[in-house]
């Protein structure tokens, strides 16, 4: 199997998906850059694109090497209501960084927006849409390849976002940060998916808030809802890189460990290979990650689906599939771990004997 190719003529996102290709998304920016010392927790705004562009560029590069087909602009919470006078420079710089790195491989640039605080406080449709339009104007000027409306708790606001974004005439993906119980107004996952398609989204799914297994349960409900309504869309999933079976409706933000004590919940690379395979079997062809989803997790998706994609990502040069590189170890019991069965069936310990395996959400 050949390694990933270099720059060349690039197919658009819909052309790739309609051909049945696997599109590998990117992963965590906010939590990862916070850990690295470039983002401040709280509002989680992305000033780093202008304050520390090399840090953002480096993370984009790590995701590209790991196998990502999409460089999403680091514009989460970069609307005017969150960033005041900084918002325009941040959005523009984020586009430039994503485009620079995407040009080093077969990756597309996606301009990203997310839910607003204005919706929660005012529910003023015109005001919220103006915020989305301002970011879209920057994305249009920077000529992003497609658009993503992500991290929406409310179907209504997500629909408003799609309605604004589709006016540019580029493909729109829309993902909600919901679990199997649906959005915060009680709209089911299936209904959410249908509403997003009716609003104009060509790609729908979920991102963030919930771990791999819960996210896939929600995707099954979205797929069923679309089928029942006779609606068609490509499916997309970008889960947390953490296990969160004990989440309530609000997801991991309601867990007592959020955001600074989540490390014991981190998914292994093998967990993510399973996630990628299950997503693929479900019919999801745009597969990536969100908070806690590190470059090695993206590599796990790319390696698991390498037979379908027809190539390995560059980062696999330093990684033996299913631990095969352990064959070179001097200790025989470690060499014995150089096989898929060992890692697939491992139940990893947390190393924390006095800690519970699950938590009680605060809400």
**Phi (first) and psi of residue 175, to 5 degrees:** -130, 145
DSSP-assigned letters across all residues of 304-347:
HTHHHHTEE-GGGGG--GGGGGGGG-SSHHHHTT-SHHHHHH--
Q: What is the dihedral of CA 135, 139, 141, 142, to 10 degrees?
A: 140
Q: What share of the chain is helix, strand, coil (3-state, %, to 5)?
A: 50, 15, 40
Q: Which residues pair with 238 in a beta bridge?
A: 207, 288
Q: Which residue has the tokens 């093998």?
A: 270
Query: Is 290 annotated as ligand-binding?
Result: yes
- Measured CA to CA, the distance from residue 350 to residue 122 in angstroms comes to 43
Q: Which residue has the tokens 């698991």?
A: 304
Query: Is 291 annotated as ligand-binding?
Result: yes
Q: Which residues contact 251 (CB under 8 A, 6 or more apart)?
A: 177, 179, 208, 209, 210, 244
Binding residues: 208, 290-291
Binding residues for Zn(2+): 208, 290-291
């Amino acid at each position: 199997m050949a390694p990933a190719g270099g720059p060349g003529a690039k197919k658009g996102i819909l052309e790739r998906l309609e051909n049945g290709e696997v599109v590998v998304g990117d992963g965590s920016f906010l939590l990862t850059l916070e850990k690295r010392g470039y983002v401040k927790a709280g509002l989680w705004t992305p000033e780093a694109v202008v304050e520390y562009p090399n840090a953002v560029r480096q993370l984009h590069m790590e995701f590209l090497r790991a196998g990502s087909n999409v460089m999403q602009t680091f514009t989460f919470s970069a609307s005017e209501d969150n960033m005041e006078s900084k918002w325009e420079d941040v959005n523009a710089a984020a586009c430039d960084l994503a485009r620079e790195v995407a040009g080093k491989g077969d990756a597309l640039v996606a301009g990203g927006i997310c839910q607003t605080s204005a919706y929660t406080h005012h529910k003023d449709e015109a005001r919220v849409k103006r915020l989305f339009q301002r970011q879209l104007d920057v994305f249009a000027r920077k000529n992003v390849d497609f658009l993503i409306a992500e991290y929406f708790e409310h179907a209504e606001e997500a629909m408003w976002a799609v309605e604004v974004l589709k006016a540019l005439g580029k493909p729109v993906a829309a993902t909600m940060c919901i679990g199997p119980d649906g959005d915060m107004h009680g709209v089911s996952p299936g209904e959410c998916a249908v509403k997003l398609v009716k609003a104009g989204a060509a790609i729908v799914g979920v991102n963030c808030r919930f771990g791999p297994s819960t996210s896939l349960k929600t995707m099954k409900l979205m797929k069923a809802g679309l089928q029942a309504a006779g609606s068609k869309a490509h499916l997309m999933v970008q889960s947390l890189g953490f296990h969160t079976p004990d989440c309530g409706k609000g997801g991991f933000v309601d867990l007592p460990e959020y955001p600074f004590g989540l490390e014991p919940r981190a998914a292994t690379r093998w967990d993510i290979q399973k996630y990628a395979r299950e997503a693929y079997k479900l019919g999801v062809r745009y597969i990536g990650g969100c908070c806690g989803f590190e470059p090695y997790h993206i590599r796990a998706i790319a390696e698991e689906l390498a037979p379908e994609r027809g190539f390995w990502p560059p980062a696999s040069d330093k990684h033996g599939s299913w631990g095969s590189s352990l064959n070179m170890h001097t200790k025989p019991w470690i060499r014995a771990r150089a096989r898929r069965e060992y890692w697939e069936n491992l139940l990893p310990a947390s190393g924390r004997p006095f800690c519970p395996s699950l938590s009680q959400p605060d809400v």
